[in-house]
Amino acid sequence: MTTFDAPLIVLAAGGTGGHVFPADSLASELSSRGCRLALVTDRRGDAYGGSLGEIETHRILAGGIAGKGPIAKIRSLIELGIGTLQARSLLKRLRPAAVVGFGGYASVPTMVAATLAKFPTVLHEQNAVLGRANRLLASRVARIATSFKSTKSIPEALDKVVHTGMPVRPTILAMHDTKYPDLNSTREINLLIMGGSQGARVLSDVLPEALGQLSDDLRRRLRVTQQCRTEDVERTRAVYEIMGVSADVDSFFDDIPERLAATHLLIGRSGASTVAEAITVGRPSILVPYPHAIDDHQSENAHAVDEVGGGWLIPENAFTPETLAARLGELFSMPAALEKAASCAKTAGRADAAHQLADTVLGLLPGNGGNEMRSQAA
């Protein structure tokens, strides 16, 4: 198949890592199968790395579909209309074989334009509840790919749902086969604390005090990695120093895949990326859902992990130093419980998610081209 003959797949994504990382993973998979790719994003999407940073990129206007006030709603509707016209013109010129949306308002104009023009379309939902943007488009697209086996807010009448799993970054996927690190009474305990893209101040407030309530022996064994807000770095680092806890505290780490593979326990928010990466690598987690997330999707994500035994959900209003210290003391004294949770977490993840999603997209292509590309990857 020549480059000219290769199908062009348009990816519509933007915003937070939860929407961008699966798009990047799919781009890598489709590129390996010989597809041509283009990314359509909003004005924030100008600094992507990975596979997305290497493909043709187009930026259009996109407004949130749920403005906070009347003026904001009017502005959002105007931006949505303009963005849809921009996307319609772009797609008319590109003539893609399929268009894939990853939720969030950045994807809406492109997906609306794609469905109006009757291009084959796929939505990918990263969370355990269908997001507002994807709900708006659910009845119009050909397929809805889900990250969780059970996803709320999908109309029961729809027969277009495919469980593909959540594609993760290639650097995370590379850690899938690493064994859970041995934990015995003398070994160092690696604790990874992830605040998500917004840092999660509650973790910086609660974690140091909770660790300070552990026994001296446990504190000496701890090796903490904590990602937090820039403004919280110095105070959090200072508390750990006073306590004598070995801690690496920063607002960003570029080696998270390696740190995740080495950790005995992850503590963090339950955004789509954090959850997907933990279960793909197979690491147990204590998840504290962001209580103000739209549709409370972080609670649904955490429930999904908790229900399969891959971690423990603690609501933010119950996430106190005393509660956390008691839970950590219990878990660190029972390595078998952590090992079992690690195993359960890995069974909940799908290492082949990008492969499955690519098959779903290519399966919509007319003729035999899509089937040939699917068989080549089998």
Counting other chains too, the contacts that 232-240 makes at CB distance below 8 Å and 24 or more residues apart are: 232/199, 232/201, 232/204, 235/204, 236/204, 236/207, 236/208, 239/208, 239/209, 239/212, 240/208, 240/211
Question: What is the CB-side half-sphere exposure of residue 121 using CA atoms within 13 A?
Answer: 25
Q: 173-348 adopts what CATH topology?
A: Rossmann fold (3.40.50)
Q: How confident is the model at residue 238 (pLDDT cuts 50, 70, 90)?
A: very high
Pick the closest to residue 52 from 73, 78, 25, 33 (CA basis): 25
> Residue 97 above 70 pLDDT?
yes
- Tokens representing 124? 């990918």
Of 127-136, 239-248, 305-314, 366-375, which range is least confident? 366-375
Mean pLDDT of 32-36: 96
- Tell the CATH superfamily of the 8-166+351-377 domain: Glycogen Phosphorylase B; (3.40.50.2000)
Number of H helices, E strands in the chain: 15, 13
Percent of the chain whose predicted confidence (pLDDT) is above 70: 92
**Whole-number pLDDT of residue 155:** 81
Mean pLDDT of 333-338: 94
Residue, of 377 and 144, whose pLDDT is higher: 144
Alpha carbon separation from 183 to 59, 92, 95, 137, 190 (Å, rounded)? 48, 57, 55, 47, 9
pTM for the model stands at 0.91
Matching fold, domains 8-166+351-377 and 173-348: yes
Show me where the domains of the chain are located.
8-166+351-377, 173-348
> Residue 46 above 60 pLDDT?
no
State how beta strands 56-59 and 311-313 pair. unpaired
Give the list of residues 6+ apart from residue 78 with CB closer than 8 angstroms, or none.
63
**Whole-number pLDDT of residue 199:** 55
Adjacent-strand bridge partners of 8: 36
Mean pLDDT of 117-123: 98
> Residue 23 above 90 pLDDT?
yes
3-state class (DSSP) for residue 316: helix
Of 71-75, 138-142, 160-164, 356-360, which range is least confident? 71-75
Tens digits of residue pLDDT in 154-204? 987 678 999 999 999 989 999 999 999 999 877 899 999 998 656 578 999
